[in-house]
Amino acid sequence: MNTKYLSRRAKIKYKIRKKVSGTPDKPRLVVFRSAVNIYAQLVDDVNGKTLASASSLEKELKSKIEGTKGRVGKSKIIGMTIAERAKNLSIMNVVFDRNGYLYHGRVKALAEGAREGGLKF
Protein backbone atom coordinates (compact mmCIF):
# COMPACT_ATOMS: atom_id res chain seq x y z
CA MET A 1 0.00 0.00 0.00
CA ASN A 2 1.31 3.41 -0.92
CA THR A 3 1.43 5.46 2.29
CA LYS A 4 2.22 8.67 0.43
CA TYR A 5 -1.46 9.59 0.19
CA LEU A 6 -2.63 8.33 3.57
CA SER A 7 -3.42 10.60 6.46
CA ARG A 8 -1.28 10.73 9.59
CA ARG A 9 -3.77 8.69 11.61
CA ALA A 10 -4.00 6.01 8.91
CA LYS A 11 -0.21 5.63 8.84
CA ILE A 12 -0.09 5.21 12.61
CA LYS A 13 -3.02 2.78 12.47
CA TYR A 14 -1.24 0.54 9.96
CA LYS A 15 1.91 0.50 12.10
CA ILE A 16 -0.12 -0.50 15.17
CA ARG A 17 -2.05 -3.23 13.33
CA LYS A 18 1.19 -4.86 12.15
CA LYS A 19 2.07 -5.55 15.78
CA VAL A 20 -1.32 -5.94 17.51
CA SER A 21 -3.59 -8.91 16.90
CA GLY A 22 -6.40 -10.43 18.94
CA THR A 23 -7.00 -14.10 19.76
CA PRO A 24 -10.04 -15.81 21.30
CA ASP A 25 -8.26 -15.85 24.70
CA LYS A 26 -6.84 -12.32 24.43
CA PRO A 27 -8.98 -10.24 22.06
CA ARG A 28 -8.15 -6.82 20.70
CA LEU A 29 -9.93 -3.87 22.34
CA VAL A 30 -10.51 -1.43 19.47
CA VAL A 31 -11.46 2.21 20.07
CA PHE A 32 -13.18 4.44 17.54
CA ARG A 33 -14.16 8.00 18.29
CA SER A 34 -16.22 10.42 16.30
CA ALA A 35 -16.74 14.10 17.06
CA VAL A 36 -19.46 13.36 19.64
CA ASN A 37 -19.58 9.60 20.33
CA ILE A 38 -17.15 6.81 21.19
CA TYR A 39 -17.24 3.11 20.40
CA ALA A 40 -15.33 0.10 21.75
CA GLN A 41 -15.20 -3.47 20.44
CA LEU A 42 -13.56 -6.72 21.48
CA VAL A 43 -12.33 -8.39 18.28
CA ASP A 44 -11.04 -11.93 17.73
CA ASP A 45 -8.78 -11.57 14.67
CA VAL A 46 -8.12 -15.31 14.34
CA ASN A 47 -11.78 -16.12 13.67
CA GLY A 48 -12.69 -12.66 12.35
CA LYS A 49 -15.47 -12.03 14.89
CA THR A 50 -16.54 -9.23 17.17
CA LEU A 51 -17.07 -10.70 20.64
CA ALA A 52 -18.58 -7.67 22.39
CA SER A 53 -19.16 -3.99 21.79
CA ALA A 54 -20.20 -0.85 23.62
CA SER A 55 -21.20 2.53 22.27
CA SER A 56 -22.29 5.88 23.62
CA LEU A 57 -25.33 5.61 21.33
CA GLU A 58 -26.83 2.55 23.07
CA LYS A 59 -30.26 3.05 24.58
CA GLU A 60 -29.41 1.07 27.76
CA LEU A 61 -26.49 3.39 28.50
CA LYS A 62 -28.31 6.68 27.87
CA SER A 63 -29.38 6.96 31.52
CA LYS A 64 -25.79 6.48 32.77
CA ILE A 65 -24.33 8.84 30.20
CA GLU A 66 -26.83 11.66 30.76
CA GLY A 67 -25.55 12.13 34.31
CA THR A 68 -21.97 12.74 33.18
CA LYS A 69 -20.53 15.96 31.96
CA GLY A 70 -18.48 16.03 28.78
CA ARG A 71 -17.18 13.50 26.31
CA VAL A 72 -14.38 12.24 28.58
CA GLY A 73 -16.95 11.16 31.17
CA LYS A 74 -18.87 9.29 28.46
CA SER A 75 -15.69 7.52 27.43
CA LYS A 76 -14.97 6.28 30.94
CA ILE A 77 -18.48 4.81 31.22
CA ILE A 78 -18.06 3.05 27.87
CA GLY A 79 -14.75 1.60 29.08
CA MET A 80 -16.39 0.25 32.23
CA THR A 81 -19.26 -1.16 30.17
CA ILE A 82 -16.98 -3.01 27.75
CA ALA A 83 -15.07 -4.44 30.74
CA GLU A 84 -18.33 -5.67 32.26
CA ARG A 85 -19.35 -7.33 28.98
CA ALA A 86 -15.90 -8.92 28.69
CA LYS A 87 -16.26 -10.35 32.20
CA ASN A 88 -19.57 -11.92 31.17
CA LEU A 89 -17.65 -13.70 28.39
CA SER A 90 -14.93 -14.64 30.97
CA ILE A 91 -12.32 -12.46 29.25
CA MET A 92 -9.86 -10.75 31.57
CA ASN A 93 -6.87 -9.96 29.32
CA VAL A 94 -7.04 -7.85 26.16
CA VAL A 95 -4.69 -6.12 23.74
CA PHE A 96 -5.39 -2.39 23.43
CA ASP A 97 -5.69 -0.96 19.91
CA ARG A 98 -5.96 2.83 20.02
CA ASN A 99 -6.68 2.82 16.27
CA GLY A 100 -4.18 5.56 15.39
CA TYR A 101 -5.46 8.05 17.97
CA LEU A 102 -3.16 9.57 20.55
CA TYR A 103 -3.36 8.00 24.00
CA HIS A 104 -4.84 11.14 25.47
CA GLY A 105 -8.24 12.51 26.46
CA ARG A 106 -11.17 10.30 25.51
CA VAL A 107 -9.06 7.31 24.43
CA LYS A 108 -7.15 7.40 27.71
CA ALA A 109 -10.42 7.73 29.69
CA LEU A 110 -11.87 4.67 27.94
CA ALA A 111 -8.72 2.67 28.73
CA GLU A 112 -8.79 3.74 32.38
CA GLY A 113 -12.48 2.86 32.63
CA ALA A 114 -11.77 -0.60 31.19
CA ARG A 115 -8.95 -1.09 33.71
CA GLU A 116 -11.23 -0.02 36.56
CA GLY A 117 -13.79 -2.53 35.28
CA GLY A 118 -11.24 -5.32 35.62
CA LEU A 119 -9.59 -5.70 32.22
CA LYS A 120 -5.82 -6.16 32.06
CA PHE A 121 -3.71 -4.86 29.18
Is 61 part of any domain? yes
- The model's pTM is 0.90
Answer whether residue 24 is part of any domain: yes
Q: How many Cα atoms within 13 Å fall on the side-chain side of residue 77? A: 21
Between 75 and 8, where is the model more confident? 75
pLDDT score recorded for residue 66? 87
- The answer on pLDDT for 35 being more than 90 is yes
35 within a domain of the structure (yes/no): yes
Quick one: which of 19, 8, 4 has its CA closest to 102?
Answer: 8
> What is the DSSP track for 46-80?
TTTEEEEEEETT-TTTHHHHHTS-HHHHHHHHHHH
**Section 88-106 average pLDDT:** 95
Each residue's pLDDT tens digit, 44-77: 999 999 999 999 999 999 888 888 889 999 999 9
For residue 64, the model assigns a pLDDT of 86
On whether residue 1 sits in a domain, the answer given is no
Domain holding 49, by residue range, is 7-117
Residue 34 lies in a domain: yes
